[in-house]
Amino acid sequence: MKKNILKKIFSAVAAVAVATVMPLSAIGCGNDGPTWTPPQNTDEYNIPQDYARTYYEVFVRSFSDGNGDGIGDLQGLIKNLDYLNDGDDSTMTDLGVNGIWLMPINKSGSYHKYDVIDYYQIDDEYGTLDDFKQLVEECEKRGIWIQMDLVLNHTSNQHAWFKAAVASAKAGKRPTTDKAMKKYVFQVSEDMPTDKGTWHKVAGTNYWYLGNFSGSMPDLNLDNEEVRAEILTIVEYWLKKGVRSFRLDAVPWAYNTSANYNQENGEFWSWFCQNCDRLGRQVYGESTPDLPVYCYNVGEVWGGGSDSIKSFFRTGMSCFNYEMAAAYNKGFSGAVNGNDRAYSYVTKQVRNQQDALAVDPNALLSNFLSCHDNNRSAGNHFGFDVAKIKQAAALYLLSAGNAYIYYGEEIGAAGEKYGDNEPDSNMRMPFNWGDASKGITTNPPQTNYEGTQELGSWASQTNNENSILTFYRETIKIRNRFPEIARGVMKQYALDANSGLGDPDEILEASGKKYLDSVNKLNDNVAIYTITYKDNTLLFFHNLSEEKDATIDVSAFAGYEITASLKTRSGSATLTGASLGLPAGAVAVLALPKAA
């Protein structure tokens, strides 16, 4: 694949789905061999080389074991890159993702590696810097950009800096003047400090340090100039090694003890994003000219309300779209499960994009269903209902902005913790390859996990046209075919009393009604929006009903034709004249035909 323009080939997209959860024998090939041969791609398209991408979140430890010790590693990931993107324009057997978010890979003392001991090394369990170099080279061949998890809120208590700080504390030095302790947040007190946050005592002393997440993860003092200088050195180091962007851990907690934005957070993250852009421009400005930013950052901001998230966008970063994630059973999952009206879902997503663009004209939403901190969506939010899983996938993959796929989501992976005392590792289970040659991992150990991977494995789904995996592949191909989807601006449409398309506010005003479902009940079931980019407009329809078909008058978009479609249940979209037939579960993308 080319570095500046990726030439792809795309076949007519049509996914055959099932209405209910099917037994493994029905959704996979089992022992009877492949039941379906994926078609070859036939339509050519281009993917601009920028930060608008489809990202795949990888917990390296649980993805693929390359050396037989049961622990996933970089060599295992390299071996299976063809599954994510094989670099072959003619195939449809890869997912087609063009970004990888690597959860922490730095030297660490834990299984999850969010407590960094050395920011300049790869953890021994995962491999070496040479392995990372090979990963970058192989990703570049496939047009994949690497996003690295960067943990700046805290270090490990085994980091050399913190060991020096503890030594100073035990020597009775003053926290306000000692160089080592000033890199963290220390106080001297007989009793636990009453300042906000979680404090931990240095054994045998009356010194306390701030560690909001754990005593093994002491918080850094991000006001310290030496700390800030080191952060920029770390960023430059990894940019020069091929990292293109960063996922930023615990963003609000840099200067807070909650998910809310405050002025100190705003100052620090603005400083960080501006310097990342400067350093990224130095490294990548010549090879990828004319980018709006040269280091794309996406922050972990769980909540705090839309105003708080909008404020974090103002710093120059993106934020994960938690309001729409399955984690809170809202947005994508809420619409699919009937907890949210279809038109209300679109209203929220359009507002989220408008809020972000209002403070950053280059803003990209970061859409996802679940991640390593959340119960997996397939079982926890969709009850392993294959049709619902597909519907949710179509919503977030065909929405404006970046899409983040948590490894295994594309095969309906299971995994959840059943209470606060259950281990997070239950949500980070080994990828279910179903094929020993792919490097099946055995770590991390699971505790009290009651579920099973009942929707099957990669092996049972890869050659079956009805599988969740096939649906993901085909939906991502639509994203790749149309640059408008990731990069464009969304606008909401709704149905009037005659099932014609119009602006929601104008429909309500003309009807004298208060709610769109009072004008036309189909507004409860059918999500309708356009995405426009560089004067090209796509028109999207998602019929989220489990059983109700819809007929829609699309004469407001004269000349538009169905250019891509998906089905999550039993029927495909059809267009007869200006009448769009949208069976329950169907997805349709309409566009003006391209000039010959």
Q: Which of 249, 277, 385, 484 is catalytic?
A: 249
- What distances in angstroms separate CA 496 from CA 118, 235, 576, one per listed residue? 60, 52, 20
3-state class percentages of the chain: helix first, strand second, coil last, to nearest 5: 30, 20, 45
At 323, phi and psi to the nearest 5? -60, -30
Q: Are the CB atoms for 182 and 173 separated by under 8 Å?
A: no
Return d(Cα 404, Cα 531) in angstroms, integer: 19
**Which class for 490: exposed (0-12), middle (13-18), buried (19 or more C-beta within 10 A)?**
buried
For residue 327, count other CB atoms closer than 10 A to its CB.
23
- Give 32's contacts (C-beta < 8 A, 6+ positions apart): none
Q: Which two tokens stand for residue 552?
A: 């829609």
Q: Are the CB atoms for 345 and 338 separated by under 8 Å?
A: no
Return d(Cα 330, Cα 323) in angstroms, integer: 7
Using DSSP, state whether 47 is helix, strand or coil: strand
Nearest CA among 514, 527, 519, 525 for reference residue 499: 519
CB environment 357-382: b (16+ within 10 A), e (fewer) = beebeebbbbbbbbbbebbbbbbbbb
Return d(Cα 554, Cα 472) in angstroms, integer: 27
Q: Which two tokens stand for residue 347?
A: 């209203």
Q: Which of 300, 385, 496, 546 is catalytic?
A: 300
DSSP assignment letter at 427: G
Q: Which stretch of DSSP H or E encloses residue 282? A: helix 263-284
Using DSSP, state whether 202 is helix, strand or coil: coil
Return d(Cα 585, Cα 568) in angstroms, integer: 5
Return d(Cα 59, Cα 407) in angstroms, integer: 7
Return d(Cα 151, Cα 116) in angstroms, integer: 7
Using DSSP, state whether 278 is helix, strand or coil: helix
Q: What torsion, rounded to 10 degrees, do the Cα atoms 27, 31, 32, 33 define?
A: 80
Q: What torsion, rounded to 10 degrees, do the Cα atoms 220, 61, 480, 457 define?
A: -150
The residue to which tokens 């079982």 are assigned = 379
Q: Which two tokens stand for residue 364?
A: 């990209």
**How many residues are given for the chain?**
596
Is residue 226 part of the annotated active site? The answer reads: no
Q: Which stretch of DSSP H or E encloses residue 106? A: strand 106-108
Is residue 300 part of the annotated active site? The answer reads: yes
Return d(Cα 40, Cα 493) in angstroms, integer: 34
The residue to which tokens 């769109």 are assigned = 516
Return d(Cα 332, Cα 349) in angstroms, integer: 9
Q: Which residues are catalytic?
A: 249, 300
